[in-house]
């Protein structure tokens, strides 16, 4: 199943930590409706390393995962040993 990611701009605190930590260049900061927040501009580059979840000041809550039908899925926070493998 293809993963469809998006950022919930209302939950993003614009700390830019996901932008800074992502080795794949998935995130960029954008302005939308007068609010700056992170956006996954290249979700196809995501390798599920989980660094964005670990770095997020809001515990990864702004990062949503949806399935092909657009239904929200749970995306677990990775364990530390899983991060070391990526």
Distance in angstroms (rounded) separating the CA atoms of residues 60 and 8: 10
Task: List the domain boundaries for the chain.
Answer: 4-73
Is the Cα torsion angle 46, 50, 52, 53 positive or negative in sign? positive
- The pLDDT tens digits of the residues spanning 51-79 come to 888 888 887 777 776 555 554 554 444 55
For residue 3, name the pLDDT band (cuts at 50, 70, 90): low
With tokens 């926070």, the residue in question is 77
Please check the confidence at residue 2 and state whether its pLDDT lies above 70: no
pLDDT number for residue 41: 87
Looking at the domain 4-73, which fold is it?
A: Alpha-Beta Plaits (3.30.70)
- The pLDDT tens digits of the residues spanning 7-48 come to 788 888 999 999 999 999 999 999 988 989 998 888 888 888
Q: What is the pTM of this model?
A: 0.68
CA atoms within 13 A on the CB side of 66: 13
């Amino acid at each position: 199943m293809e993963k469809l990611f998006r950022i919930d701009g209302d939950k993003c605190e614009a700390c830019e930590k996901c932008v800074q930590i992502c080795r794949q260049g998935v995130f960029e900061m954008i302005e939308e409706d007068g609010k700056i927040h992170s956006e996954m501009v290249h979700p196809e580059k995501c390798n599920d390393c989980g660094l964005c979840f670990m770095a997020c000041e809001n515990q990864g809550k702004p990062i949503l995962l949806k399935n092909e039908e657009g239904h929200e899925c749970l995306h677990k926070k990775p364990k530390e040993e899983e991060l070391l493998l990526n």
